[in-house]
């Protein structure tokens, strides 16, 4: 059995944060009043709520990580309930920033985006990050992974806004592929309890521009993401490009994702990927 398969290396995407947020600011500048209040697939949030969330999380992270400020969150205990902690922080931020008019909100988003891009570009990508990427099962992460996670957050929330107002965009391979590549880092953790013979392989294909095929290999110690299709293929899942991001961010019903995707081979192994979540909350 081949055992020298390589795992993917660091995903270096800090240079994409600025251009991606430039597209966000241009999008928000073009919205009319009814579009700001349009519902999105992000639960009960409107377009304005999502925009407020993007400002809140960026400002908060700069305050914590760049400026070393302690924020007033003592009533929460993230060690005991990470998802609840994050959801409460997000709700508090949205309630505050959504009260700003668009003429104030958009320039603040633009300014914080520029500051955030500079911050991430200045980081040593291999140094320890301030926050671990918990949805990938990590208790400690390198900066490159936290920055890649930041790209997925900025990208998928912008896509929620675009979907709500009918403004397609940001699906170019330049952004789409690294976002998907970051999401796929969750596969080994997500499959940790899924049994399959050692040497089995799951292939996950996302169609369209920026898509690709990712390989998850079962070795004696568990599942591992690998760069080449080694071993015996156990299952192959094919997901349309327009729903892949929604699958991994809780933006589509699982039954709908299953109906639109194709699962070949072992149905238990293959279909499990359509329940994967690569966000916190």
Per cent of the chain over pLDDT 90 is 85
Segment 95-108, tens digit of pLDDT: 888 999 999 999 99
Q: Mean pLDDT throughout 130-135?
A: 94
Measured distance CA(267)–CA(121) in Å, rounded: 42
Helical pair 47-61 and 82-97, crossing angle rounded to 10 deg: 110
Q: Say yes or no to pLDDT of 67 above 70.
A: yes
Q: Say yes or no to pLDDT of 70 above 90.
A: no
Among 147, 133, 145, 112, CA closest to 14: 147
| Residue 24, both tokens | 């966000």
Q: Say yes or no to pLDDT of 87 above 90.
A: no
Per-residue pLDDT at 207: 97
Three-state secondary structure call for residue 222: strand
Segment 236-272, tens digit of pLDDT: 999 999 999 999 999 999 999 999 999 999 999 999 9
- b/e 145-156 (16+ beta carbons within 10 angstroms → b): bbbbbbbbbbbb
At 68, the pLDDT band (50, 70, 90 cuts) reads confident
Residues with Cβ within 8 Å of residue 258, at least 6 apart in sequence: 271, 274
170 CB-contact burial (10 Å; exposed 0-12 / middle 13-18 / buried 19+): buried
Query: From start to end of 6-128, where are the E strands?
Result: none
Per-residue pLDDT at 169: 82
Q: Which domains does the chain have, with CATH numbers?
A: 14-170 (1.20.120.450), 185-275 (3.30.1050.10)
207 CB-contact burial (10 Å; exposed 0-12 / middle 13-18 / buried 19+): middle
Three-state secondary structure call for residue 276: coil
Q: Mean pLDDT throughout 35-50?
A: 97
218 CB-contact burial (10 Å; exposed 0-12 / middle 13-18 / buried 19+): buried
């Amino acid at each position: 059995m081949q055992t020298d398969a390589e795992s993917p290396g660091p995903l270096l995407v800090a240079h994409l944060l600025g251009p991606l947020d430039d597209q966000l600011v241009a999008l928000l500048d073009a919205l009319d009043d009814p579009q700001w209040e349009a519902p999105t697939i992000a639960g009960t949030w409107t377009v304005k709520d999502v925009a407020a969330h993007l400002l809140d999380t960026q400002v908060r992270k700069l305050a914590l990580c760049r400026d070393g400020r302690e924020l007033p969150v003592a009533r929460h205990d993230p060690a005991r309930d990470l998802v609840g902690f994050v959801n409460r922080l997000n709700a508090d931020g949205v309630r505050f920033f959504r009260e700003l008019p668009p003429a104030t909100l958009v320039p603040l988003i633009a300014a914080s985006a520029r500051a955030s891009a500079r911050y991430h570009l200045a980081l040593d990508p291999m140094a320890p990050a301030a926050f671990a990427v918990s949805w990938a099962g990590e208790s400690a992460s390198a900066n490159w992974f936290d920055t890649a996670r930041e790209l997925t957050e900025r990208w998928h929330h912008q896509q929620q806004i675009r979907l709500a107002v009918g403004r397609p965009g940001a699906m170019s391979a330049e952004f789409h592929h690294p976002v998907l590549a970051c999401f796929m880092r969750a596969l080994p953790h997500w499959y940790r309890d899924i049994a399959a013979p050692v040497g089995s392989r799951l292939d996950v294909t996302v169609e369209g521009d920026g898509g690709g095929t990712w390989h998850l290999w079962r070795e004696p110690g568990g599942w591992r993401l690998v760069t080449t299709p080694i071993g015996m293929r156990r299952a192959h899942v094919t997901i349309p490009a327009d729903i892949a991001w929604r699958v991994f961010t809780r933006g589509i019903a699982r039954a709908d994702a299953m109906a639109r995707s194709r699962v070949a081979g072992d149905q238990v192994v293959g279909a499990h990927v359509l329940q994967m979540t690569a966000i916190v909350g």
